[in-house]
A and B are shown apart, each in its own frame.
Chain A
Amino acid sequence: MIKKADVILLILIVAVGLIISFGPLAKQAGGTDVKITVNGETYGIYSLMEDQTIEISKDGHTNVIIIEDGTVRMKSSTCKNQICVDHGKISLIGDSIVCLPNRVVVEIEGKGGDVDVISG
């Protein structure tokens, strides 16, 4: 039922998969800015150093994002699955909280290092 070629295929898939997963996040360091993207458009860039609360209301969805002590978290979201809220705090460059249903992406960016992985 299981052939030798299947095992080779499995190893290949795992190898390629791990490269795809971790390739863009090779460098990680504390970030300085928080970039919020809604519907693929930049909504705003905020400093990670200033404590603040950002409320995003768009297309009938509301997401509340809190910046506190150099970390960012999604305090609340009107989406069904609440994955973004459960994601917890993020603070490293390249880290992100994604709310797929409301199409909100919160990302940490840093000045200096070449960490620009955003295209389009």
Chain B
Amino acid sequence: MSSQARTPRKADKRTRLLAISAMFAALALIFSYVEILIPIPVPVPGIKLGLANLVIIIALYRMGFKYAFTINMVRIVAAGLLFSGVFGMIYSLAGGVLSIIVMYLLYRTGLFSMVGVSMAGGVCHNLGQLLTACLLLSNTGILSYFSVLLFSGIISGIAIGIIAYVIEKRLPAFAE
């Protein structure tokens, strides 16, 4: 429309990013739901694909830490209220915060590719959840689950990282 003809002002850019953030949060929430529908044939809690991280990692690369963090928080709180309940939400919050901070720091170093960043994010998400479980149950014995969650986090993190890399290359610019 006419706004595309003239040079976008700063406010236009902010509005665009806001709209994209809202869409990303909705998409991440849908991925959280899709994940529940996919049964995983392993009797260990915490193993999942981490589809929502796909959205978060692209947001981190394209829009920066603040946007990615906010989208992730919105996603976790909404998914917690809708699907997993308050306790599930506490675990996800711990995992989500730890994983996005680690992913941001790795991204900032510029040393790692999206695959490496996503892999570390996946593992940290599981670690954050497990540490919360240790705190809530006052029991460090649960950490033995981490050996399983470690490899599941690495595998799903790498898979998500590869998908994110392919998608991110094909996405048009968000705001000029």
**A interface, CB within 8 angstroms of B:** 1-3, 5-6, 9-10, 13-14, 17-18, 20-25, 37, 40, 81, 83, 86, 94-96, 98, 100-101, 103, 105, 107, 117-120
Contacts and interface: CB of A to CB of B under 8 A. Distances in A.
A17 B139 CA distance: 18
B150 A13 contact: yes
14 contacts: A1-B113, A1-B115, A1-B165, A2-B113, A3-B116, A6-B119, A9-B112, A10-B154, A21-B144, A83-B43, A100-B133, A107-B141, A117-B140, A120-B138
B141 A117 contact: yes
Interface in B91-119: 106, 111-116, 119
B165 A24 contact: no
Interface of B: 43-45, 87, 106, 111-116, 119-120, 123, 127, 133, 135-147, 150, 154, 162, 165
B81 to A, nearest CB: 17
Which of B44, B113, B127, B136 has most A Cβ within 10 Å? B113
